[in-house]
C-alpha cells in the first residue's frame, strides 16, 4: 500500500513539474507574441491568475517564465528586479485571492504596471545611486503609463474568462 502511495506522489510531482514548465513557457510565448505592442503584456494577468488559482505552487511557473526571459535575453541588470518584482504581484494577488470584483483585479494589475519602474528602481539605486535610480525611473514613466493601461485593459477583459478556463485545467489536473 505504501508503495502505491509513493508512486502516486511521484507521479503527481512529475505532473506538477510538467504543468509548471508548460505554464511558464506559455506565459513567455504569449509575451513574445505581444512583443510588438509597447509594454502591453499578459504576464501580469498570468501571475495574478496563478496566485489565485494555483496557490504557492503557481510560483514555479512564474519562475520558469523568469528563467526563460533570462535564458533568451541574457542576464543583465534588468534581470535582478525580475527575481523579486513578480513575487510582489504574486503576493498581492494571493492576499486578495477572494476578491470578486473584476474591476479590482484590473486596478491591481494597472497599478502594478504603473509602479513597475518604481519597483525596479532599487536595483538601479544600488548600482548607481539615487540620481541614477531617479533618472532611470522618470525616463521610463511613459512606458509605465502604457504598461499600466495595458495591464488594466487586459485584466478587465480577460480575468474572469481566463480564470474559468484555468480553474477547469487545474481541476482536470487534480484527477
Q: Please return the burial class of 28, using the count of CB atoms within 10 Å of its CB with bins 0-12, 13-18 and 19+.
A: buried
Q: Which three cell numbers stand for residue 92?
A: 498581492
Sequence-distant (≥ 6) Cβ neighbours of residue 77 within 8 angstroms? 123, 124, 127
> In which band, very low, low, confident or very high, does the pLDDT at 4 lie, cut at 50, 70 and 90?
low
pLDDT tens figures, 85-142:
999 999 999 999 999 999 999 999 999 999 999 999 999 999 999 999 999 999 999 9
Return the minimum-mean-pLDDT range out of 15-19, 30-34, 86-90, 100-104.
15-19
Percent of the chain with pLDDT over 70: 96
* Cβ-contact 113, 44 below 8 angstroms: yes
The pTM of this model reads 0.91
Residue 56 DSSP code? G
Return the minimum-mean-pLDDT range out of 9-13, 14-18, 123-127, 131-135.
9-13
Amino acid at each position: 500500500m505504501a508503495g502505491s502511495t509513493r508512486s502516486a506522489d511521484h507521479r503527481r510531482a512529475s505532473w506538477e513539474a510538467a504543468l509548471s514548465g508548460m505554464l511558464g513557457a506559455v506565459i513567455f510565448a504569449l509575451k513574445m507574441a505581444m512583443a510588438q505592442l509597447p509594454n502591453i503584456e499578459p504576464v501580469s494577468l498570468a501571475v495574478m491568475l496563478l496566485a489565485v488559482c494555483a496557490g504557492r505552487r503557481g510560483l514555479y511557473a512564474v519562475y520558469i517564465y523568469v528563467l526563460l526571459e533570462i535564458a533568451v535575453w541574457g542576464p543583465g541588470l534588468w534581470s535582478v528586479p525580475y527575481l523579486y518584482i513578480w513575487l510582489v504581484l504574486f503576493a498581492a494577488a494571493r492576499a486578495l485571492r477572494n476578491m470578486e470584483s473584476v474591476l479590482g483585479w484590473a486596478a491591481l494589475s494597472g497599478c502594478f504596471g504603473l509602479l513597475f519602474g518604481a519597483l525596479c528602481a532599487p536595483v538601479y539605486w544600488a548600482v548607481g545611486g539615487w540620481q541614477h535610480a531617479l533618472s532611470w525611473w522618470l525616463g521610463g514613466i511613459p512606458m509605465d503609463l502604457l504598461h499600466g493601461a495595458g495591464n488594466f485593459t487586459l485584466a478587465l477583459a480577460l480575468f474572469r474568462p481566463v480564470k474559468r478556463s484555468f480553474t477547469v485545467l487545474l481541476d482536470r489536473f487534480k484527477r
